[in-house]
């Protein structure tokens, strides 16, 4: 880069035009002549200098008009060895600027400088120094003109005819830039075949030269890297690889922003009693953006749905006060909880639901949807789920690894040793005692310390009425309240409170209900004015209590298909029949995993979550920690018994009890449920 001054005859580039400083008509006024139109304009010296300082005006060195540096070089792209060589040349050139270009005058000066700096290895010839000097002056005293320019040496003309170039480009578009990701050698072979076929139609003196691999590589390099990657891997993958962070969402306090997502755990879990593999559980987690503390987690065999999201949010909102009682191995406290102001989700169907919108609206939560296939917009929860998988699942017997190619001869089902109850304990142990206590790479402090130092307990937002949280997070539906009550999934719900509501507001009312799909024993009914919420039990409570919506569909389908009955007593009989069939199917040795059976059993995964289809309770003499159990207890109608909620339920005999083989027919689980996997989801 050369230097210039505001002098007469200097050329400047200003306002997208080329001007010449024609003359200075006064001490502070310049006349500029437009090089194209020859029109004269006048500017003060202060105006020209202000234009120069703001970057609107640049000098065009008249001595460097014919000097064009290489397009693929700039003043910052100079290697240290190039800079050192150019500085040596500059030492000789600056000493010769005022000396005539004669051999007698230059030789002693060159010898003197060479003895002083000792570079290069031999003193340069005077003709070489004169060449450096002329280039330097021609470039307008630009230092870059003395840099070695080996890149512009050699032939610049294309050696191959245009026909060969076009055939190679067509081969690249057809073979190389394809989703099959074929190699450069395949592209070259195709181009050679095309050229050879054309040579067969040409005269000997008009034969085309065959392309080389070097030519193919050179033409490929001229294609933008983004276009190459998009053609071979897909546009979505290219956008992900070449993305750039142009803006960053910054939070200033905990619970200002949270992210939630699901992932299957890369671990085969076994049953607590039978030691038989159940399959890979699903994990739904919610993390705080500011402190990186985990706010809530839900682990079960239920596929991602609004039900799993609701369970995770419930765990997020509630304080973990009974954590050490349920999991004695945990040493520290889990303080992170509360209602966030912003919730970041992806485009899963469970997040694009009216139910989630209603729940978040009730609690003042703003939902932010990330763009399609842009996981980096909620990168904190994505990173956490990957870290949890690496820390808990990978390296543990029964791991499924990241993909099937890493398993090789390893059989996860054969080596699985982690029980479902143990997984619940070690996951929360790792969260509370490891992840929250280990200094975070970005925060430079443990997440638990950031949480405790950034928010006061009185600033944590909580739902006003925790007993109504199931109603807030429940699935919303519209129903008509009549003298029969409310019908939902062929079940009827009614209570004295609904009778009083009808007497006050009308015999038929359009009401909104909230349903907990994990337990159909109760529903929540909102009054027409939305001022009251009623918890209404099912009339067939002994069947519906603890029964999930998915399990209810299976029982109805089994009763209609196998028992040829459609009444409620047939559903209760179907529950008992399915229980027996599941016990047999669960012990079927040919099954490698039993994820759908575990999902049907409805093992409790959180102290606030109701049990599933079959009651699973330890005896009073057993340890207090609830353990998922496959001792399946059918719920029959009690006759003259006290309130079952006040009485400890008995543990039935083990499923290892002897059976008469001819009394039990073995069914596959799919034949029991009658549902495909897509329908289950």
pLDDT digits (tens, 9 = 90+) for 212-229: 999 999 999 999 999 999
CA distances from 503 to 507, 522, 535 (A): 7, 22, 18
Q: 3-class DSSP state for residue 228?
A: helix
Q: Is the dihedral of CA 186, 190, 196, 200 positive or negative?
A: positive
Point out the least confidently predicted range of 256-260, 365-369, 418-422, 492-496.
418-422
Q: Is the dihedral of CA 152, 155, 157, 160 positive or negative?
A: negative
pLDDT digits (tens, 9 = 90+) for 644-675: 343 444 333 333 334 334 333 333 334 444 44
pLDDT digits (tens, 9 = 90+) for 112-122: 889 888 888 88
Residue 592, pLDDT score = 53
CA distances from 49 to 18, 43, 140, 142, 354 (A): 17, 10, 21, 22, 62
Nearest by Cα to 341 from 259, 261, 258 = 258
Residue 20 — φ and ψ, nearest 5°?
-120, 135
Burial label, 67 (beta-carbon count in 10 A; 0-12, 13-18, 19+): middle
Residue 239, pLDDT score = 87
Residue 392, pLDDT score = 85
Q: Number of C-alpha atoms within 13 angstroms, CB side, residue 241?
A: 13
> DSSP string spanning 392-449?
IITTSTTB--SSGGGTTT--HHHH---BHHHHHHHHHHHIIIIITTSPPTTTSS-HHH
Residue 671, pLDDT score = 41
Structure tokens at 113: 């400088």
Q: What is the DSSP letter of 183?
A: -
Match 């050696």 to its residue by tokens: 159
Residue 59, pLDDT score = 84
**Alpha-carbon distance 548 to 519, whole Å?**
5
Mean pLDDT, range 326-354, rounded to an integer: 91
Residue ranges per domain, the chain?
11-60, 80-152, 162-241, 258-459, 478-541, 549-680
Nearest by Cα to 680 from 535, 540, 552, 561 = 552
Just give the CATH number of 258-459. 3.30.420.10
Mean pLDDT, range 303-320, rounded to an integer: 90
CA distances from 485 to 480, 532, 539, 564 (A): 8, 17, 9, 27
Instruction: Judge whether residue 383 has pLDDT over 80.
Output: yes
**Alpha-carbon distance 126 to 111, whole Å?**
10
Instruction: Judge whether residue 619 has pLDDT over 50.
Output: no
pLDDT digits (tens, 9 = 90+) for 70-84: 444 455 567 777 888
**Alpha-carbon distance 31 to 21, whole Å?**
6
> DSSP string spanning 532-545?
-EEEEEBTTHHHHT
pLDDT digits (tens, 9 = 90+) for 394-407: 767 767 766 554 55
Residue 153 — φ and ψ, nearest 5°?
-85, 160
Residue 526, pLDDT score = 86
pLDDT digits (tens, 9 = 90+) for 37-83: 889 989 998 888 888 888 888 887 644 444 444 444 455 567 777 88
**Alpha-carbon distance 603 to 587, whole Å?**
17
Structure tokens at 586: 């669960």
Percentage of the chain lying above the pLDDT 90 cut: 27
Instruction: Judge whether residue 268 has pLDDT over 80.
Output: yes
Residue 550 — φ and ψ, nearest 5°?
-65, -40
Residue 677, pLDDT score = 40
Mean pLDDT, range 281-287, rounded to an integer: 93
pLDDT digits (tens, 9 = 90+) for 540-569: 888 888 787 777 877 777 677 766 666 666
Residue 266, pLDDT score = 84
Residue 338, pLDDT score = 94
Point out the least confidently predicted range of 151-155, 342-346, 451-455, 458-462.
151-155
Mean pLDDT, range 351-355, rounded to an integer: 86
**Alpha-carbon distance 465 to 472, whole Å?**
10
Interior/surface letters 283-322, b for 16+ CB within 10 angstroms, e for the rest: bbbbbbbbbbbbbbbbbbbbbbbbbbbbbbbbbbbbbbee
Which neighbouring-strand residues pair with 538? 493
Instruction: Judge whether residue 132 has pLDDT over 50.
Output: yes
Percentage of the chain lying above the pLDDT 70 cut: 75
Question: Which residues make Cβ contacts (< 8 Å) with residue 323, sequence separation at least 6?
Answer: 330, 333, 334, 428, 432
Place 464 in a pLDDT band, splitting at 50, 70 and 90: confident
Burial label, 71 (beta-carbon count in 10 A; 0-12, 13-18, 19+): exposed
Mean pLDDT, range 123-134, rounded to an integer: 89
Contact, 318 vs 334, CB < 8 A? no
Question: Whole-number mean pLDDT of the chain?
Answer: 78
Place 428 in a pLDDT band, splitting at 50, 70 and 90: very high
pLDDT digits (tens, 9 = 90+) for 188-218: 999 999 999 999 999 988 999 999 999 999 9
Residue 253, pLDDT score = 92
Instruction: Judge whether residue 2 has pLDDT over 80.
Output: no
């Amino acid at each position: 880069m050369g230097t210039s001054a505001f002098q007469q005859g200097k050329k400047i580039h200003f306002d997208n035009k080329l001007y010449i400083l024609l003359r200075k008509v006064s001490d502070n006024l310049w006349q500029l002549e437009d090089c194209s139109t020859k029109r004269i304009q006048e500017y003060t010296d202060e105006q020209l200098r202000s234009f120069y300082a703001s970057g609107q005006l640049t000098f065009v060195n008249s001595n460097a008009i014919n000097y064009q540096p290489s397009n693929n070089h700039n003043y910052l792209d100079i290697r240290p060895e190039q800079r050192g060589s150019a500085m040596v040349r500059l030492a000789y050139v600056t000493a010769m600027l005022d000396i005539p270009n004669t051999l007698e005058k230059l030789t002693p000066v060159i010898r003197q400088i060479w003895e002083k700096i000792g570079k290069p290895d031999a003193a340069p010839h005077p003709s070489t120094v004169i060449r450096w000097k002329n280039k330097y002056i021609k470039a307008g005293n630009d230092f870059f003109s003395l840099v070695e320019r080996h890149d512009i040496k050699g032939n610049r003309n294309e050696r191959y005819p245009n026909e060969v170039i076009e055939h190679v480009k067509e081969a690249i578009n057809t073979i190389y830039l394809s989703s099959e990701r074929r190699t450069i050698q395949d592209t070259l072979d195709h181009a050679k075949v095309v050229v050879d076929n054309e040579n067969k139609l040409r005269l000997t003196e008009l034969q085309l030269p065959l392309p080389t691999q070097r030519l193919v590589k050179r033409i490929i390099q001229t294609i933008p890297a983004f276009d190459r990657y998009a053609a071979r891997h897909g546009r979505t993958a290219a956008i992900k690889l070449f993305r750039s962070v142009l803006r960053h969402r910054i939070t200033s306090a905990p619970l200002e922003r949270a992210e939630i997502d699901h992932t299957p755990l890369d671990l085969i879990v076994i049953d607590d009693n039978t030691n038989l593999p159940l399959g890979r559980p699903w994990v739904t987690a919610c993390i705080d953006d500011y402190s990186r503390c985990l706010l809530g987690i839900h682990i079960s065999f239920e596929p991602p749905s609004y039900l799993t999201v609701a369970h995770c949010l419930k765990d997020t909102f509630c304080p973990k006060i009974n954590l050490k009682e349920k999991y004695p191995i945990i040493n520290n406290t889990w303080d992170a909880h509360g209602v966030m102001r912003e919730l970041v989700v992806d485009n899963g169907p469970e997040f694009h639901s009216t139910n989630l919108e209603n729940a978040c609206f009730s609690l003042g939560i703003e939902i932010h949807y990330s763009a399609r296939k842009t996981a980096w917009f909620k990168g904190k929860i994505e990173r956490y789920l990957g870290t949890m998988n690496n820390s808990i699942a990978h390296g543990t017997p029964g791991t499924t690894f990241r993909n099937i190619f890493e398993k090789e001869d390893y059989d996860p089902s054969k080596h699985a040793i982690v029980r479902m109850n143990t997984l619940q304990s070690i996951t929360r142990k790792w969260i509370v005692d490891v992840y929250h206590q280990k200094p975070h790479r970005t925060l430079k402090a443990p997440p638990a310390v950031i949480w405790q130092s950034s928010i006061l307990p009185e600033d944590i937002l909580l739902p006003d009425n925790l007993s109504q949280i199931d109603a807030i997070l429940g699935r919303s539906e519209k129903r008509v309240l009549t003298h029969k009550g409310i019908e939902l999934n062929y079940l009827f719900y009614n209570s004295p409170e609904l009778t009083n509501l009808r007497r006050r507001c009308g015999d038929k009312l359009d009401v909104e209900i909230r349903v907990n799909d994990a337990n159909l024993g109760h529903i929540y009914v909102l009054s027409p004015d939305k001022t009251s919420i009623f918890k209404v039990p099912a009339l067939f409570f002994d069947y519906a209590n603890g029964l999930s919506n998915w399990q209810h569909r299976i029982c109805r389908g089994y009763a209609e298909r196998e028992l040829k009955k459609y009444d409620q007593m047939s559903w209760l009989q179907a529950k008992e029949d399915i229980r027996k069939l599941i016990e047999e199917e669960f012990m079927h040795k040919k099954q490698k995993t039993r994820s759908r059976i575990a999902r049907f059993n409805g093992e409790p995964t959180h102290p606030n979550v109701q049990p599933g289809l079959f009651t699973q309770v330890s005896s009073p003499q057993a340890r207090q920690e609830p353990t998922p159990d496959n001792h399946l207890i059918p719920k029959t109608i009690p006759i003259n018994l006290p309130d079952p909620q006040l009485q400890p339920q008995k543990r039935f005999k083990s499923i290892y009890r002897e059976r008469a083989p001819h009394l039990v027919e073995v069914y596959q689980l799919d034949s029991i449920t009658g549902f495909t996997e897509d329908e289950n989801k």
